[in-house]
Amino acid sequence: MKTINKVILSGLSVFALSTSAFADNISDDVRDARSSVDALGIQLESMRVNVNTQVDTSGALTHTQKLSLYQEKHAELQGIFNSVHFSS
């Protein structure tokens, strides 16, 4: 019986640690996406293109939704960058 309890406790510990690691990974992804948006905005401004890098995440309830919003903004800015860069 003690062995079964140890196995169950070990399994729960691993589950708790992996869930925490996943939460950290998605938070890191959100921070990375935000940094990418900021960096692309700075690059565009250095090319004398005025862009809005603000992302309204007030309606996002989860980190995944926030990540999606930043990815959409990044795609928008990347399109602007491509237009400007390849037209010159």
Domain boundaries, the chain: 2-87
Q: How confident is the model at residue 25 (pLDDT cuts 50, 70, 90)?
A: confident
The verdict on pTM exceeding 0.85 is no
Query: Measured between alpha carbons, how far is 55 from 35 in angstroms, rounded to an integer?
Result: 12
Output the pLDDT for position 52. 94
Q: Is 1 exposed, middle or buried (0-12, 13-18, 19+ CB in 10 A)?
A: exposed
Per-residue pLDDT tens digits for 73-84: 999 999 999 999
**b/e string for 72-82 if b means 16 or more Cβ within 10 A?**
ebbeebeeebe
